[in-house]
Structure 1
Amino acid sequence: MATPIHPSSPTSRWRRFVWTGLIAILAAPLIAMQFTSEVDWDAFDFIFAAMLLGAIGIAFEFSTRMISGPLAKLAVMSLVVGLVLIVWAEAAVGIF
């Protein structure tokens, strides 16, 4: 079973940083839509992006709690971010 993370631990600060960053990335198109017509997302686009960014967040949570060793954590996060970028590129412009 996973060990609870104390609110003042370094991992807790990283958790806040990661989740806040993911929310900021998701908010960027919403903000851009207010200033330009170049960005035209609908609800499906936001849901799709939230699922992909949520996968990164969940992978971060998994790697910090369940995997020991910084190299293994880095490998898991690199794999997940790479897969998310491939899926995002495919959905955006159909590279495959």
Structure 2
Amino acid sequence: MKNKRLSLIMAAVVVLLLIPFIAMQFTNEVDWDVFDFLIMGILLTGTGLLCELVLRNVKTLTGRVLVCGAILIGLFLVWAELAVGIFGSPYAGS
């Protein structure tokens, strides 16, 4: 079961990264380079592995939901900052 879940995480990362890759073939609106794919791959893989770690170590359902929810919120905040700079940091994409 544990290895199956890890395989699903890695497959989900690949599928999610295929979305902008395929979109780039049809429109100029999506303009990612290798660095963008690398950073997003790291973010998605790290998030998936952190959630897997939580699922293995946190025993209560409430704890799992809260910690995984916090991890996902962190992912979305970092993603939004890198994409459009909602916080105005030097790493902002805009």
Task: Indicate whether 1:73 and 2:69 are aligned.
Answer: no
State the TM-score, normalizing by the size of structure 1.
0.79
Deviation at 1:15, TM superposition (A): 4.2
Structure 2: unaligned runs, 5 residues or longer: 88-94
Aligned residues: 87
Native 8 Å contact 1:59 1:76 kept in 2: no
> Within 1, Cα distance between the matches of 2:37 and 2:12?
16
CA RMSD of aligned residues (A): 1.6
Match of 2:44 among 33, 49, 53: 53
Deviation at 1:47, TM superposition (A): 0.7
State the TM-score, normalizing by the size of structure 2.
0.80
Partner of 1:83: 74
State the percentage of identical aligned residues: 36
**What aligned pairs does 1:2-17 form with structure 2 within 5 A after superposition?**
9=1, 14-17=5-8
Deviation at 1:71, TM superposition (A): 1.0
Native 8 Å contact 2:9 2:45 kept in 1: no
Deviations 1:9-48 (A, max 9, x none): 4x55544444322321111111111111111100110011
Does 1 or 2 have the higher relative contact order (CA < 8 Å, sep 6+)? 1
Structure 1: unaligned runs, 5 residues or longer: 1-8
